[in-house]
Amino acid sequence: MSRYGFSNTISKAAVAGIVLPQVLFPRLALADTVDGYGHRMMEWSEWIIGPIMMLVGIAVLVGIVLLVVRIARNDSPRVANRDPAMEVLRERFARGEITEAEYNQTKRSLDREG
pLDDT, tens digit (0-9, with 9 covering 90-100), for 7-46: 566 666 666 666 666 666 665 555 544 555 655 666 777 7
Residue 29 lies in a domain: yes
Report pLDDT for 73.
83
Please indicate, yes or no, if residue 32 is contained in any of the structural domains: yes
pLDDT in tens, 89-113: 999 999 999 999 999 999 998 888 7
Q: Which domain holds residue 20?
A: 1-41
Residue 35 covered by a domain: yes
- Contacts of residue 31, defined as CB under 8 A and 6 or more positions apart, other chains included, come to 40
Q: How far apart are CA 1 and CA 11, in angstroms?
A: 10
Residue 71 lies in a domain: no
- Asked whether residue 8 is domain-assigned, the answer is yes
Q: 26-42 burial, b for 16+ CB within 10 Å, e for fewer?
A: eeeeeeeeeeeeeeeee
Q: Answer for the pair 21, 28: CB distance below 8 angstroms, yes or no.
A: yes
60 falls within a domain: no
Provide the domain count of the chain.
1
Residue 95 lies in a domain: no
Instruction: Assess whether pLDDT exceeds 60 at residue 86.
Output: yes
